[in-house]
């Protein structure tokens, strides 16, 4: 390879409706169970990758600042191995959502990076292989390659080639709005990889979590196929709260919520008691994501904004999967 070859990809975040929390193989980043998510039309990462023979080392910038993480370095080594090249890369990645707001960017980030690397190196990976590649960066990233509703398959092969996400339904299959209440930042969260390891090794509830999640997958698939928002919301909220019960049972406990998180949950429960269909889901952080029908979004957003400690409310709908674009980050 003599001339630099580059590509730009964009990918958006996704929110799991049935959560991934546990790995069957940490080195290959293989999940214990499947998971189901909705890819959003907002929270976008745009990544340009250029493999350039003139570079003495990888050069990574996030939002314009040097930011190479060991995980990204390992990921670039992996794609070089796949391509059979030793050329270093310049990576420029930008998020269009507020950094430092505690919104996870690894899903959109590694989905965009996987797609850009595939194009820049001419790997020619098919959709399952691309999703499995993104998984090596971050488990949730495997789902952001797909648009709309996607299911991560845990696979059973030791090498992980069958652990990738597949499309369940297009973005317009089930109209919904995802409101993200960004709450006052709590103590720095334990990252997902460390959090999963701790939960698996110390929580007595983990086997029950795995078992109930496997059941939830079938029920969620059915609810999406039936376009049943109420059932999707109910299952998503129940699954998320069970994940947090499992996290709380770890030693030391993983407690991701703050006072504003609890207040936002109570706001949603009060709305529901008053007849508005709205359901919460929470990941490994203090933000509260609320699922509702588009017609109820204004009411729910207003109620969330009025809550104590809510810094901002972001709004998104189901969106397309990762795609290649022209230009640079």
Q: What is the contact surface with ligand DP6 in residues (CB under 6 A)?
A: 16, 19-21, 29, 35, 104, 106, 138-140, 192-193, 283-284
> Which candidate, 305, 321, 14, 38, places its Cα nearest to that of 176?
38
Please report how close the Cβ of residue 284 comes to ligand DP6 at its closest, in angstroms: 4
Q: Which is nearer to ligand DP6, 87 or 239 (CB)?
A: 239
Please report how close the Cβ of residue 138 comes to ligand DP6 at its closest, in angstroms: 3
Q: Are 136 and 78 in contact (CB under 8 A)?
A: yes
Q: Are 137 and 116 in contact (CB under 8 A)?
A: no
180: β partners = 289, 314
Question: What is d(CA 165, CA 144) in angstroms, rounded to the nearest whole number?
Answer: 9
Q: Which is nearer to ligand DP6, 35 or 267 (CB)?
A: 35
Q: Are 171 and 39 in contact (CB under 8 A)?
A: yes
Q: Which is nearer to ligand DP6, 283 or 301 (CB)?
A: 283
Please report how close the Cβ of residue 104 comes to ligand DP6 at its closest, in angstroms: 6
Q: Are 110 and 138 in contact (CB under 8 A)?
A: yes
Q: Are 110 and 95 in contact (CB under 8 A)?
A: no
| Phi and psi, residue 291, nearest 5° | -100, 130
Please report how close the Cβ of residue 65 comes to ligand DP6 at its closest, in angstroms: 21
Q: Which is nearer to ligand DP6, 104 or 125 (CB)?
A: 104
Q: Are 182 and 314 in contact (CB under 8 A)?
A: yes
Q: Which is nearer to ligand DP6, 23 or 94 (CB)?
A: 23
Please report how close the Cβ of residue 8 comes to ligand DP6 at its closest, in angstroms: 23
């Amino acid at each position: 390879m003599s001339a630099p070859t580059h590509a730009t990809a964009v990918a958006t975040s996704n929110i799991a409706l049935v959560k991934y929390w546990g790995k069957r193989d940490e080195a290959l980043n293989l999940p214990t169970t499947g998971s189901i998510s909705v890819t959003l039309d907002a929270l976008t990462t745009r990544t340009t990758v250029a493999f350039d023979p003139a570079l003495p080392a990888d050069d990574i910038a996030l939002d314009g600042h040097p930011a190479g993480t060991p995980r990204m370095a390992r990921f670039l080594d992996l794609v070089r191995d796949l391509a059979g090249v030793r050329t270093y890369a310049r990576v420029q990645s930008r998020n269009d959502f507020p950094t430092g707001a505690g919104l996870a960017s690894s899903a959109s980030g590694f989905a965009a990076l996987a797609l850009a690397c595939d194009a820049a190196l001419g790997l020619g990976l098919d959709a399952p292989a691309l999703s499995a590649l993104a998984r090596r960066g971050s488990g949730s990233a495997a789902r952001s390659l797909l648009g709309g509703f996607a299911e991560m398959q845990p696979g059973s092969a030791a090498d992980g080639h069958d652990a990738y996400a597949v499309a369940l339904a297009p973005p317009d299959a089930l109209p919904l709005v995802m409101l993200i209440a960004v709450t006052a930042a709590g103590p720095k969260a334990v990252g997902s990889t460390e959090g999963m390891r701790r939960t698996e090794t110390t929580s007595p509830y983990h086997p029950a979590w795995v078992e109930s999640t496997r059941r939830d997958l079938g029920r969620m698939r059915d609810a999406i196929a039936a376009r049943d928002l109420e059932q999707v919301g109910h299952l998503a909220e129940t699954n998320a709260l069970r994940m947090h019960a499992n996290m709380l049972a770890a030693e030391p406990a993983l407690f991701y919520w703050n006072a504003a998180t609890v207040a936002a949950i109570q706001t949603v429960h009060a709305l529901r008691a008053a007849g508005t269909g709205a359901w919460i889901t929470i990941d490994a952080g203090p933000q509260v994501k609320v699922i509702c029908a588009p017609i109820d979004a204004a009411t729910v957003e207003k109620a969330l904004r009025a809550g104590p400690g809510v810094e901002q409310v972001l709004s998104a709908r189901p969106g397309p999967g990762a795609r290649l674009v022209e230009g640079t980050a």
